[in-house]
């Protein structure tokens, strides 16, 4: 059953956002040998160029031999989940949203390799310029983040800077795309709709925002106050899970609703903005405003 155009567009946007927010995924190729385990899987890095994932596969990887015999493959990309979110989400039985793509893996021709590398270099420079121009409200969050989550393109520097590792570059040409939600439910995405869709404006920066907020103790305390002020829930702890133009998702350790079992349990809560934010600067401005509001509220209430 096909959904409405608006719903299809929303799902496609979610897929595109996951793809641009990450820089590595799991590549699956078919082994030429007749063995019980016929699929080889490993993590590889990628960039999205003209709507297609370009994969950097180490020369030592068996994928390269597999692709010579059979160009079919699949590629799985999950929404990045920096620690300590990953173990917490696993604890409550939730997995990050994932995109699963099937299609053909085509080696990039020698004469096109320089253009692909140049694209990555330009993307890195564009992000570095953007970061240098961000106001303090953004930089204060980014500076708290683990450097490994700096940005998708930052992590790809080693691919174009050279080094000991040598790579073969492939273009992944999709034939199907599925969005898999945290409950394991799958929704097929129309490739034409996906190609025309735009990622959420926070997509490229989302991992660094989430990690930066969770690594800052004062911002973590503000998340706890969000639960109390906006939801009237007394949370013992809280972490940011995801951010987007419409709001953010928060994981709170709150009193259990079950009579038996632990006194506290982790639950996910959604906070919606009154208006969509257009970029990362507007998001950080909104977040800082909310932090100031709750801090002022409880400071005045306690007389501190």
CA distance 237 to 248: 16
Digit-coded pLDDT (tens) for 90-141? 888 888 899 999 999 999 999 999 999 999 999 888 888 998 899 999 999 9
- CB 191, CB 173: distance < 8 Å: no
Average pLDDT over residues 36-64: 92
The predicted-structure confidence for 150-188, as pLDDT tens digits, reads as follows 456 667 787 887 667 889 999 999 999 999 998 889 999
Give me Rg for the CA atoms of the chain. 21
The reported pTM is 0.88
Domain 5-198 architecture: Roll (2.30)
Domains in the chain: boundaries: 5-198, 216-302
| pLDDT, the chain, mean | 89
Same fold, 5-198 and 216-302: no
Phi and psi for 65 in degrees, rounded to 5?
A: -70, -45
Q: Which of 83-92, 123-132, 194-203 has the lowest mean pLDDT?
A: 83-92
CA distances from 203 to 12, 153, 209 (A): 13, 13, 10
Q: 216-302, which class in CATH?
A: alpha beta
* Cis preceding-peptide flag for 107 (omega within 30 of 0): no
Q: Residue 162: what pLDDT? A: 64
């Amino acid at each position: 059953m096909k959904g409405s155009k608006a719903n299809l567009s929303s799902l496609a946007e979610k897929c595109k956002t996951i793809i641009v927010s990450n820089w590595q995924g799991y590549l699956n190729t078919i082994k030429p040998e007749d063995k019980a385990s016929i699929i080889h899987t490993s993590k590889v890095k990628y960039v999205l160029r003209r709507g297609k994932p370009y994969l950097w596969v180490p020369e030592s990887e068996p994928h390269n031999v597999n692709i010579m015999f059979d160009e079919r493959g699949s590629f799985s990309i999950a929404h990045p989940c920096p620690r300590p979110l990953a173990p917490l989400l696993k604890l409550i039985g939730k997995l990050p949203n994932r995109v699963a793509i099937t299609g053909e893996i085509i080696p990039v021709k020698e004469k096109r390799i320089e253009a692909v590398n140049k694209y990555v270099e330009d993307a890195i420079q564009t992000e570095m310029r953007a970061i240098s121009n961000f106001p303090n409200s953004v930089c204060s969050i980014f500076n708290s983040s683990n450097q490994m989550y700096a940005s998708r393109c930052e992590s790809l520097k080693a691919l174009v800077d050279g080094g000991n590792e040598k790579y073969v570059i492939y273009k992944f040409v999709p034939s199907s795309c599925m969005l898999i939600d945290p409950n394991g439910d799958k929704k097929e995405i129309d490739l034409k709709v996906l190609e025309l869709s735009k990622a959420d404006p926070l997509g490229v920066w989302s991992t660094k925002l989430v990690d930066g907020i969770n690594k800052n103790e004062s911002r973590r305390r503000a998340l706890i106050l969000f639960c109390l002020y906006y939801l009237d829930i007394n949370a013992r702890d809280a972490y940011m899970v995801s951010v987007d133009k419409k709001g953010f998702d928060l994981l709170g350790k709150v009193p259990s609703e079950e009579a038996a079992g632990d006194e506290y349990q982790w639950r996910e809560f959604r906070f919606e903005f009154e208006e969509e934010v257009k970029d990362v600067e507007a998001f950080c401005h909104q977040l800082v405003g909310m932090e100031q509001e709750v801090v002022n509220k409880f400071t005045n209430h306690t007389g501190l």
